[in-house]
Amino acid sequence: MTGAPQSRVVAILAAGIGSRMRSETPKVLHPVGGRPMLSWVLDAARGAGCDRILAVVGHGAEQVRAALDAPDITWVEQREQLGTGHALAQVARELDGDGVIIVLSGDVPLVRPATLAALADAAAGGWGSMAVADLDQPGSLGRVLDRDGGALDRIVEAADASDEELAISTVNAGLYCLPYPQIFERLAALTPDNAKGELYLTDALGAAAADGDRISLVQLADPGEAMGINTRVDQSRVHRRLLERKLRRLQMHGVTLLDPDRIQVEPGVEIGADTTVEADVSLSGSTRIGRRCVLRQGAWIRDSIIADDVTIEPYSVLDGAQVGDGCSVGPFARLRPGTVLEEGSKVGNFVEVKKSTLGPGVKASHLAYLGDATIGPGANIGAGTITCNYDGQRKHPTEIGAGAFIGSDTMLVAPVKIGDGATTGAGSAITKDVPSGALAIERSRQRNVEGWVERRQKRESSED
Ligand code: UD1
Ligand code: MG
C-alpha cells in the first residue's frame, strides 16, 4: 500500500532527562537550526498530516510546554523517566480501540514528513515498522540486527553491545509505526535488566519479533535523518546538517555562496536570487534578504528585512532592522531594533542606529549615534553626531527635517527638532529647536593669540 499514512496519530517521546547534555535545560529544548530540537519533530508530524500529536514530556515538562504549546498538541506526562518503553506506555490512556500509531523521538529532529508515510506503508505489510540507516558514526545509537527480507531480529543498545555488535553500522533511528493495543501489551512485559536499568521500547520490538511478528525495516534515503542528539557533539552535527540542507536549497535558488562551510543561515531565513553571501556571515531568525544584495564578510543579521540591491559591508550587526532598496550599511555599523533605513540611505562605519527612521537618501557616513530619531529625506548627518536621547530617566525624540545638514560633532539634546534644510555648526550642543533654513551654532568664538608659541618657548628656555 502506498500514499498517506493510515494513522494520523503520532506520539513523540520527549520526556527524557538527557543527562549526557549536562544541562539544566531540558534536552528537547536545546536548539538546532535556530529552534528547539523538538519543534522540528512537531513540524515533521504536522507536515505528514498527523492531526493528533501526543507529546510525552516529563523532565522540565512545564518549560517544554511553555515553549512549544499549540492547539494540536496533547501533552502526556511521564512522571518518572524510566525509559523509552515506559514513555510510550503513557500514551495508552489517550487511545481507544485499536489502530497504528507513529512513534517519533524528540531528539531526532531531521526526520522528514515523507518518512512517516513510508513507515505507515511498511507497517501495513506486517506487525509494525521502524526506520534504520547506515551511519559512519553510529555512536550511542541502538544497533539493528535484521533477518532476511528486511525484517527486525532485535535491537542492541550501544550501552549493552559487545564490541562485535558495536561494529554494526545499521542504527535504529528511533522512528516507528506500531499497532495498538498490541504494543502496550508488549511494553507491560518489559523489565529493566540492562546496562541503563531502563524499560527499553526496543526490547518490546525484539520480543514481538522473537514471537514471529514481522517488523519491517525502512531504510532512510538520507541517513542523516537518523542522527539523534544525545550529546552536544551530536547537537552540533545535526545543526550543521540542517544548515547544509538550507544552504544547498539557497544555491539551487540562485544565491551565490562561494564558501558555504563558513556561512550560517538558519532554515527560517529567506534570500532572493543573485544575492551574494560572503564567508563568516550569520543570518538568523525571521531575516529576509532581497535580490541582488551583497552581504560581505562577517555581517551578523537577525530578524531583519533587507530589500533589493543592498550592500552590507563587512562586520556589520543588524538586529530587528528594516533596510530599503539600494541602501548601503557599514563596515562596522550597528543597526538595533526599530531601525528603518528608507530607499538609498547610507549608514557608514562606526554608526549605531536604534529605533530611528532614516528617510530616503539620508547619509550618516561616519561615527554617530542616532537613537529615537526621525530623519527627513536627503539629510546629511556629520561625523560624530550624537542624539542625546536619554536624560537618565526617560528617552526623548529627535526630529531632523528634509535636507538638513548636521555639522560634525553636533550633540542634539532631545527632545529637539531641526527644521527642513537647517544647518548646525560643527561642535554645537543643540538644546533648542532650529527653524527651517536656519544655521544653529553653539560654541564659543575662536580667539587667535598671535606669537604665543614663540613667547612660550622663550619663557621656558629662560627658566632652565
Ligand atoms: C533510543 C533507542 C535507540 C535509538 C535512539 C535513536 C531505546 C532504548 N533506544 O536511544 O535504539 O537508536 O533512541 O535516537 O529506545 N525519553 C522519554 N522518557 C524516558 C526516556 C527517554 O520520553 O524515560 C525520550 C527522550 O526524551 C528522547 C527519546 O525518548 O527524546 C529517546 O531517548 P534517549 O534516552 O535519547 O534514547 P537513546 O539512548 O538515544
Ligand atoms: Mg537519544
- Same domain for 178 and 286, yes or no, is no
The per-type count for the chain, helices as H runs and strands as E runs, is: 9, 39
On whether the CB atoms of residues 108 and 211 are closer than 8 A, the answer is: no
- Evaluated on CA atoms 63, 141, 81, 232, the torsion sign reads negative
The CA distance from 182 to 177, in Å, is 12
pLDDT tens for 307-365 read 999 999 999 999 999 999 999 999 999 999 999 999 999 999 999 999 999 999 999 99
Q: What is the DSSP string of 213-251?
A: --EEEEE-SSGGGG---SSHHHHHHHHHHHHHHHHHHHH
Report the C-alpha gap between 251 and 21 in whole angstroms.
33
Beta strands, E only, 233-384: 256-257, 264-265, 270-271, 276-277, 282-284, 288-289, 294-295, 300-302, 305-306, 311-312, 317-319, 322-323, 328-329, 334-335, 340-341, 346-354, 357-358, 363-371, 373-375, 380-381
Q: Which residues fall inside 5 Å of ion ligand 2, going by CB? A: 107, 228, 230
At residue 125, the pLDDT reads 87
Q: Does residue 202 share a domain with residue 243?
A: no
| 211 and 355 belong to one structural domain | no
Q: Choose one of 174, 191, 226: the last residue of a domain.
A: 226
**Same-domain pairing of 354 and 426:** yes
Write out the chain's pLDDT in tens, 464 residues: 444 445 589 999 999 999 999 999 999 999 999 999 999 999 999 999 998 999 999 999 999 999 999 999 999 999 999 999 999 999 999 999 999 999 999 999 999 999 999 999 999 989 999 999 999 999 999 999 999 889 999 999 999 999 999 999 999 999 999 999 999 999 999 999 999 999 999 999 999 999 999 999 999 989 999 999 999 999 999 999 999 999 999 999 999 999 999 999 999 999 999 999 999 999 999 999 999 999 999 999 999 999 999 999 999 999 999 999 999 999 999 999 999 999 999 999 999 999 999 999 999 999 999 999 999 999 999 999 999 999 999 999 999 999 999 999 999 999 999 999 999 999 999 999 999 999 999 999 999 999 999 999 999 999 87
Domain that holds residue 309: 232-440
Q: How many domains is the chain partitioned into structurally?
A: 2
Ligand 1 pocket residues where CB is under 6 Å: 13-16, 28, 56, 78, 81-84, 86-87, 105-108, 140-142, 155, 157, 171-174, 200-202, 228, 230
User: 118: which 3 cell numbers?
Assistant: 513510508
86 in catalytic set: no
Q: Which ligand 1 atom lies nearest to the CA of residue 17? A: 26
Domain boundary among the residues 195, 226, 257 is at 226
Q: Please name the helix (run of DSSP H) or strand (run of DSSP E) that holds residue 462, with its range, or none.
A: helix 452-463
In this structure, are 124 and 49 located in the same domain?
A: yes
Which residue of the set 30, 86, 253, 366 is catalytic? 366
Atom 1 (ligand 1) nearest CA = 174
- Best CA proximity match to 389, nearest among 379, 374, 403, 401: 374
